[in-house]
């Protein structure tokens, strides 16, 4: 289910249901590996957070640190009584990478040299994933392997404000909720990481697992056009 909340918004530039399910059997295998042998996966960390708050504040400057703290407090205001989840990214082993890539259609590799790259993500131990945007990846092919009907929400700016690296937290007073998606397992979606987004309605004790194909250099509209072109070729 993909729903818009503002008139005139094209949901496809945020989340697009491709109708594709290539790699389903690999996804079932990968989920089993996550549930039974998580120790084989190496944590994937994309940016330097600093060893502690003092070091972090020194990295970005006291003014920016104070502003990020103000924005973090907005999470509590807009999500009363809720706690952020633990969201982690992982590298696939070389063997699993090879198996995954063998299931991916060649046309996806033809969009941009050296892309896409595989990813594995897990989410648990809380109620929601705070609003954020991608650090490098602009778009991805996203497949949910296990979830509990969580809602992914996308936002757009109503006013300009500074994006402060590395945390990339929005000023919630200057964005509006435009699209909601409840993604279904073993179905590929085009996912816009370059827009603000959050995830809600995590079940207590539930583990959400997804795999993906990340594009750092391809905008969502380009990826959606490629999917549609491929679909027309098969029609």
* pTM listed for this prediction: 0.93
What is the edge-to-edge ordering of all strands in the sheet holding 42-43?
Answer: 15-17, 188-192, 139-146, 208-215, 117-124, 86-91, 42-43
Question: Which of 87, 122, 131, 108 lies closest to 215, judged by CA?
Answer: 108
Percent with pLDDT over 90 in the chain: 82
Strands 139-146 and 208-215: antiparallel
Q: Which domains does the chain have, with CATH numbers?
A: 2-234 (2.60.120)
Q: What pLDDT score does 52 carry?
A: 62
CB of 172 within 8 A of CB of 116? no
Q: 105-109, 181-185, 203-207: which has the minimum mean pLDDT?
A: 203-207
Local structure of residue 203 (DSSP, 8 states): P
Asked if the model's pLDDT at residue 235 lies above 50, the reply is no
Whole-number Cα distances in Å, 111 to 11, 73, 120, 174, 227? 22, 40, 21, 34, 10
Residue at token pair 């999500």: 79
Identify the three-state secondary structure at position 10. coil
Residue 45: band (very low, low, confident or very high) from pLDDT cuts 50, 70, 90: confident
């Amino acid at each position: 289910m993909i729903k818009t909340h503002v008139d005139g918004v094209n949901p496809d530039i945020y989340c697009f249901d491709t109708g594709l399910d290539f790699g389903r059997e690999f996804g079932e295998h990968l989920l089993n590996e996550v549930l039974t042998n998580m120790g084989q996966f190496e944590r994937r960390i994309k940016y330097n957070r600093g060893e502690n708050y003092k070091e972090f504040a020194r990295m970005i400057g006291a003014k920016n640190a104070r502003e990020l703290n103000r924005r973090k407090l907005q999470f509590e205001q807009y999500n009363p009584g809720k706690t952020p989840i633990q969201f982690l990214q992982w590298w696939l082993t070389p063997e699993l990478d090879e198996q995954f890539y063998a299931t991916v259609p060649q046309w996806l590799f033809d969009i941009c040299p050296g892309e896409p790259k595989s990813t594995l993500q897990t989410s648990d131990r809380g109620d929601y994933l705070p609003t954020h945007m991608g650090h490098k990846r602009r778009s991805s092919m996203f497949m949910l392997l296990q979830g509990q009907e969580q809602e992914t929400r996308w936002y757009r700016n109503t006013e300009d404000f500074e994006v402060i690296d590395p945390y990339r937290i929005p000023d919630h007073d200057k964005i509006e909720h435009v699209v909601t998606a409840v993604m279904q397992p073993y179905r590929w979606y085009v996912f816009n990481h370059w827009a603000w987004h959050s995830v809600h309605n995590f079940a207590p004790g539930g583990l959400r697992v997804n795999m993906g194909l990340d594009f750092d250099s391809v905008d969502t509209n380009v990826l959606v056009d490629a999917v549609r072109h491929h679909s027309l070729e098969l029609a």
